[in-house]
A and B are shown apart, each in its own frame.
Chain A
Amino acid sequence: MNALEFFVVNSPIFAVAIPLLGAFLTPIFGMINDKLRNVFAIFIMIITTGIVFALSYDVVTNGIRTYIFGAQDLSLPVVRILFEVDAMSCFMAIISVILAVVALIYSWAFMKENTGLDKYYTLLLLMTTGMLGMELTGDMFNFFVFLEITSISSAALVAFWINRGKSVEAGFKYIVISTIGALFVLFSIALFYGQYNALNMAIIANSIQFTFLDKIALVLLIGALAMKAGIVPLHMWLPDAYSKAPSSVTLVLVAATQASLYGLLRLCFTIYGNMITLSPVSIGWLLVLFGIVTILLGVIMAIAQTDLKRLIAFAAVGEIGYMILGIGTGLVTMSPSISAAGLTALKGGIFHIMNDALDIGLMFLVAGAIFYATRETSLDRLGGLARNMKYTTAFFIIGLLAVSGLPPMNGFASKLLIYESTYQLNPILAIIAILASILLLAIFVKVLHSAFLGPALPRFNEVKEVPKSMLFAMAIIAGIIIVFGVFPDIIITNIVEPAANALVNNAGYISKILSLTGGA
């Protein structure tokens, strides 16, 4: 086995273990020098990004890759922890690492004046570890463990500005919601284990009977993961957590929310996949309904907000609705068998996961930049910032176009796919989705006007453009947004389509594990 082969074979574990190792080395580097620690954290995350990209390339070319912990063969499928990485896992992992790298670069200047930064970097790396673990694992209990790692480190980071009461309140709300959700997940894992004597996702999916207990487990898991993903009516923690956390944390929190969404997808398409191809309509329509309610409520609540970060947080709720709508439409359309229209809807939904992370992430970074420069987030008191912060304004306009789904930005590509496929299902759904997008445009144009345009305010005369590291972080995301918007075809054929195919191919996911155990 040469070095490259060794690297690729072990890449699933490197993707999780290297940020974990880095997380606990960070305080040691922090004792030596602050700058060294920041460089080290970014370096660890860039290595992880490289590993995830190498892994994704390998998975897309050679199919599903598994990694068994502690032994070479799967003699004991019940107790062995294993990672099973398919194209969908890779897709989510790519989103997570990109956002984590950008957040670390952004933190360089943004968090500079804070104390306790050793813990900040440790927690940020731990949170990334948790997300990557959730996305790469093939074991239900392992999923729960990584869910907890993500929840606890995110809660601590949401409450990082502990001198502000509202941050602590948001952090507390988040940890309560997460703990309740995690208990639901644990209980349903117990239901699976009691019935099928297995914790492995593929083995549960292979033997699932859809008994009464399985239905309870399905309800609990959907409830818990929808709560963690911020789907209306379980979104109440999300605006608080998003708006009170430091902006760099919010960026990673968006990815953590989407890791829970990935859990929901894995649940619907893989674990209950056999059952869903038999009677998918109910779950599909449920997701469509959730999607529409989430879009409407998120957007309508965003209109009423005067706090910039809270406004973006509600827009983020609305954007989650689009993903759920696309995925639900996919499930409904694919009810008897996999169809091209259903696959298009699914592709739209999946592509929108990435686009939402980038667009909403950019918006939060801009809001953080405004806060950094003016110490102000209320729209009533902002104004005329475009005079002093021209780059930030440009990034905001890019984000505005992308969030509201206008060409040539990436939001347009995925939203168009969602509109097309929902129109075929029911025109009213598409009309609601388009109207909500127009409302989003109106909301963000209002923000553009009240924060950046208008007369120069005397108290902002001294405001300067934010430091280069923050501009660079925003420029990375803005660049990706434009590239994805101009060449959506390349992204869809190379990343999104394999992910959608992997998601519907649950027979392949199951048979990969069964072949390892010798069909037992």
Chain B
Amino acid sequence: MSGMSKIVKTITSISIPFILIYGLYVIAHGHLTPGGGFQGGAIFASGLVMVLVAYGSVWTMEKIKEKNLTMLESLGAFCFILIAFLGLVFGTVFFNNYLVGSNSIFGTVPAAGSGLADINTAGVIPLMNFAVGLKVIAGLFAIVLVMAYAISKKEEK
């Protein structure tokens, strides 16, 4: 797939930061608002797919190697399990939420009653959302990238 017109490329360049930041926002607020690692990761990955469509798969493949994406994907899954194992090490059982009430990162217990959401809560859940988000971003984008690249190779023949 070759790139599209200059207008499309320019608009893509302008709008891409907003899409990516929105994706990251959905991941980071997974424990407070609807969404989470998977949903935010899908938004982020679709932003990357927009770049892929606008600039063409050959150009994108030069910038981002599929092998690195696979590594990132494995890393995301690995972090998720590692956090679950840390629950066993620092807490008592596998998947234990050992950060809640520890007053460290994400460690505050939210105040009772209605009020503004506090992002610094929920213990390991946001960390697991980050891990899932990383996996989904890398995984989804790798799938689309490889498929688009394969189609462009076919068109050349």
Q: Which residues of A contact B (CB under 8 A)?
A: 10, 13, 17, 20-21, 23-25, 27-28, 31, 67-72, 118, 122
Contacts and interface: CB of A to CB of B under 8 A. Distances in A.
30 contacts: A10-B88, A10-B94, A13-B88, A13-B93, A17-B81, A17-B84, A17-B85, A17-B94, A20-B81, A21-B81, A21-B82, A23-B77, A24-B74, A24-B75, A24-B77, A24-B78, A25-B74, A28-B74, A28-B75, A28-B78, A67-B94, A68-B93, A70-B87, A70-B93, A70-B94, A70-B95, A70-B96, A72-B92, A118-B70, A122-B74
A28 B95 CA distance: 24
A25 B81 CA distance: 11
Contacts of A72: 92-93
Nearest to A69: B95
A76 to B, nearest CB: 14
Contacts of B87: 70
Interface string B34-53: 00000000000000000000
Interface string B56-72: 00000000000000110
Contacts of B78: 21, 24-25, 28
B97 interface: yes
Contacts of B81: 17, 20-21, 24
Central interface residue in B87, B92, B93, by most chain A CB within 10 Å: B93
Given A10-B94, A24-B81, A28-B78, 6 more contacts: A17-B85, A21-B82, A27-B70, A69-B95, A70-B97, A72-B92
A378 B95 CA distance: 50
Contact of A31 (B71, B77, B88, B93): B71
A27 B72 CA distance: 10
A23 B78 CA distance: 9
B74 A21 contact: no
Interface size class of B (residues with CB under 8 A): 10 to 19
B94 to A, nearest CB: 4
Interface of B: 70-71, 74-75, 77-78, 81-82, 84-85, 87-88, 92-97
Nearest to B81: A21
Which of A21, A69, A70, A118 is the most central at the interface, judged by chain B CB atoms within 10 Å of its CB? Answer: A70
Nearest to B135: A24
A50 B97 CA distance: 28
A67 B75 CA distance: 27
A67 B82 CA distance: 19
What 9 A-B pairs come out closest when comparing CB atoms?
A: A24-B77, A70-B95, A13-B94, A24-B78, A27-B74, A69-B95, A24-B74, A21-B81, A72-B92
A471 B75 CA distance: 35
B70 A69 contact: no
B71 A28 contact: yes
Nearest to A83: B94
Which of B70, B85, B94 has the most chain A CB atoms inside 10 A of its CB? B94
Nearest to A10: B88
Contact of A71 (B71, B77, B82, B93): B93
A116 to B, nearest CB: 10
Contact of B94 (A24, A27, A69, A118): A69
B43 to A, nearest CB: 23
A416 B95 CA distance: 46
A69 B85 contact: no
Nearest to A81: B95
A89 B24 CA distance: 42
A71 B85 contact: no
A236 to B, nearest CB: 29
B80 to A, nearest CB: 9
A21 B75 CA distance: 11
Contacts of B77: 23-24
Contacts of A20: 81
B147 to A, nearest CB: 14
